[in-house]
A and B are shown apart, each in its own frame.
Chain A
Amino acid sequence: MAKSGDGIRILQGLLVFGNVVIGMCGIALTAECIFFVSDPHGLYPLLEATENDDIYAAAWIGIFVGFALFALSILGIVAVIKSNRTLLLVYIILMLITYAFEMASCITAATHRDFLTPNLFLKQMLERYQKSDTDNNNDKWMTEGVTKTWDKLMLRNQCCGVYGPSDWQEYTSAFRKTHIDADFPWPHNCCVMDAQGSPVNLDGCKLGVPGYYNSNGCYDTISGPMNTHAWGVAWFGFAILCWTFCVLLGTMFYWSRIEY
């Protein structure tokens, strides 16, 4: 009896430790998801215009799941120490619900990241950047979002287009409808700017002289943060769920071994 008593004490200790880790991971998940939702790189308007912004939904779910995990881990620690069957059962069921939500968040983030390809952003940029004839308010809102975001991206990261300035030459675009090719082979934001925000050499920029225009594409500066966002939510959530799985199995075993 003493030996199994020791075994159960060890299990108790492990469960408490497991719940402590879950609680800390819950807080970390909440913090990480708040960071992503705050959109530090200003890329949300691009996602909004693709009408496929579910990686943000996944981050929102992550915020609440993180809180839930923290609260439930405290409940779990109390329940394990008191060896109260009712409390443990409540803990297990609530944890399973939280598990399901977190699973949804991870799978959503991972799946929707796969939709965000360079061609998607290229098409969106060509169809929406500087579009002047918008159909309705929603269209106007999305167009303004895309235009502002691209202007900011091109100026801040010294890049042009998705693959490069040739995007504006290879395809017709909404931009081309209002800006003729001879004056604007590509937007002037693709030019190297001086301290006052005007092109250093506009003719050099229009000619495409290396050094007066930005010849690299902006896709890396878009996909970098988005990948971090999606994989951060998906894989950190996955890690938490694997750990939670072990703790929950241990808790179920513990529950079945205590008397009322």
Chain B
Amino acid sequence: RPTLCLLLTDQIPTLTKPTLATSALGGFITASTFVLEQPRCTFTGPQDTVIWLVVARPEAVPSFNNSVKPGSPARAFQQFLNSTLAYMTLNTTLLNYPCPKKPGEITVLRVGSETSCTSDANRPTCNGPLPNPGPYQVKFLALNGSEPVAETAWSDPITLRTAKPPSSIPGKGSGRSAGMIALTSILSILFAILLAGLVAMLVWGSDVGGGSSTFSKPEAVTVRRYNTHHVYDQPAARL
């Protein structure tokens, strides 16, 4: 680190760098937003100290000047990546970062959530969505009035998601499943056997009378008793 830098800037304390929120949050990094842990128990001092978030491209990090006022054109969100490589947003007082934080509480800051002021020049401290996947580096800066009193170190570079086009999704059909192949082949074989059976039936089965196994249709055989006068008369004659 060049010592020349330290001599030129004010010596304000440098605290632990900001970290991304846990990846258990589904939206901790999206294509235009990211989520940071709040700087709880990082800053000390009067409760009305204002803590700002600085978002910058990595190129702007070595030459970053803490004394440039937030809200000026050199730190306006609307000029980010046009005429400036850093902007300041999400200002709040130390009162809103109480220490220690309650256990089980989710204490995060979502960078990029304000969509209504992205083009509004009257809102230079807009927390607007980031225009491209980055990478970006962030730090917190504590100002008393317009004097920097404390800062955190710069975070590791944060790269946002890049979405792929749907045409990159691999192809449609899967292979033929084993069940479908078994079903098709078995049914085809059975059908072929049936057709063969039909042909055999018509060709050979037509000549009936093949011996003892032939079956005759059951005829209605009835025994009719012939009663004639003679049968009735005879017993009468004997008597």
Report B52 CB to chain A, min CB distance, Å. Answer: 20
Contacts of A225 in B (CB 8 A): none
Return the chain A residue nearest B35 by Cβ: A207
In the complex, per-residue mask of A89-112: 1 if CB is within 8 Å of any chain B CB, else 0: 000110010011001001100110
Return the chain A residue nearest B160 by Cβ: A181
Q: Which of B128, B164, B201 contacts A256 (CB 8 A)?
A: B201
Contacts of B190 in A (CB 8 A): 241-242, 245
Asked if A103 meets B191 with Cβ closer than 8 Å, knowing A165-B26, A208-B25, the reply is: yes
Whether the Cβ atoms of A258 and B217 lie closer than 8 Å is yes
Report B7 CB to chain A, min CB distance, Å. Answer: 41
Q: Is B2 an interface position by the 8 A CB rule? A: no
Q: Pick the interface stretch among A71-79, A142-150, A168-176.
A: A168-176
Contacts of B172 in A (CB 8 A): 115, 117, 119-120, 123
Q: Which of A172, A185, A255 contacts B165 (CB 8 A)?
A: A172
Q: Give the CA-CA distance A93 to B195 in the complex, in Å.
A: 10
Whether the Cβ atoms of B166 and A173 lie closer than 8 Å is yes
Contacts of A56 in B (CB 8 A): none
Q: Is A180 an interface position by the 8 A CB rule? A: yes
Whether the Cβ atoms of A234 and B183 lie closer than 8 Å is yes
Q: Which of A238, A257, A258 contacts B187 (CB 8 A)?
A: A238
Q: Which of A4, A255, A259 contacts B209 (CB 8 A)?
A: A259
Whether the Cβ atoms of A207 and B108 lie closer than 8 Å is yes
Whether the Cβ atoms of B115 and A180 lie closer than 8 Å is yes
Whether the Cβ atoms of A252 and B180 lie closer than 8 Å is no
Contacts of A172 in B (CB 8 A): 163-166
A residues 201-260 in Cβ contact with B at 8 Å: 203, 206-210, 213, 215, 234-235, 238, 241-242, 245, 248-249, 252, 255-260
**Total chain A interface residues with beta-carbon distance under 8 A:** 61
**Total chain B interface residues with beta-carbon distance under 8 A:** 60
Q: Give the CA-CA distance A181 to B172 in the complex, in Å.
A: 28
B residues 169-204 in Cβ contact with A at 8 Å: 169-177, 179-180, 183-184, 186-188, 190-191, 193-195, 197-198, 200-201, 204
Asked if A123 meets B169 with Cβ closer than 8 Å, knowing A170-B164, A257-B214, the reply is: yes
A residues 130-184 in Cβ contact with B at 8 Å: 165-166, 169-173, 176, 180-183
Whether the Cβ atoms of A5 and B161 lie closer than 8 Å is no
Whether the Cβ atoms of B197 and A252 lie closer than 8 Å is yes
Whether the Cβ atoms of B166 and A117 lie closer than 8 Å is no
Report B184 CB to chain A, min CB distance, Å. Answer: 5
Asked if A114 meets B169 with Cβ closer than 8 Å, knowing A206-B113, A252-B198, A256-B204, the reply is: no
Q: Give the CA-CA distance A156 to B33 in the complex, in Å.
A: 29
Report A18 CB to chain B, min CB distance, Å. Answer: 14
Q: Is A126 an interface position by the 8 A CB rule? A: yes
Whether the Cβ atoms of B217 and A259 lie closer than 8 Å is yes
Contacts of B191 in A (CB 8 A): 99-100, 103
Q: Is B212 an interface position by the 8 A CB rule? A: yes
Q: Is B97 an interface position by the 8 A CB rule? A: no
Q: Give the CA-CA distance A122 to B209 in the complex, in Å.
A: 67
Report A227 CB to chain B, min CB distance, Å. Answer: 11
Report A202 CB to chain B, min CB distance, Å. Answer: 11
Report B221 CB to chain A, min CB distance, Å. Answer: 14
Q: Give the CA-CA distance A207 to B27 in the complex, in Å.
A: 5
Contacts of B168 in A (CB 8 A): 171
Return the chain A residue nearest B108 by Cβ: A207
Whether the Cβ atoms of B187 and A241 lie closer than 8 Å is yes
Whether the Cβ atoms of A181 and B32 lie closer than 8 Å is yes
Whether the Cβ atoms of B187 and A83 lie closer than 8 Å is no
Contacts of B115 in A (CB 8 A): 180, 182-183
Whether the Cβ atoms of A257 and B215 lie closer than 8 Å is yes
Whether the Cβ atoms of A106 and B25 lie closer than 8 Å is no
Pick the 3 closest A-B CB pairs, nearest first: A208-B26, A256-B205, A208-B27
- 26 A–B contact pairs at CB < 8 A? A4-B213, A4-B215, A99-B194, A113-B180, A114-B176, A114-B180, A117-B174, A169-B30, A170-B161, A170-B164, A171-B166, A171-B168, A172-B163, A176-B163, A182-B112, A183-B115, A185-B26, A203-B113, A206-B113, A207-B110, A209-B26, A209-B106, A257-B213, A257-B214, A259-B214, A260-B208
Given A119-B170, A170-B161, A256-B201, 15 other A-B contacts at CB below 8 A?
A92-B201, A110-B184, A115-B172, A171-B165, A172-B166, A180-B115, A181-B129, A182-B33, A182-B128, A185-B27, A206-B113, A207-B106, A252-B198, A256-B204, A258-B215
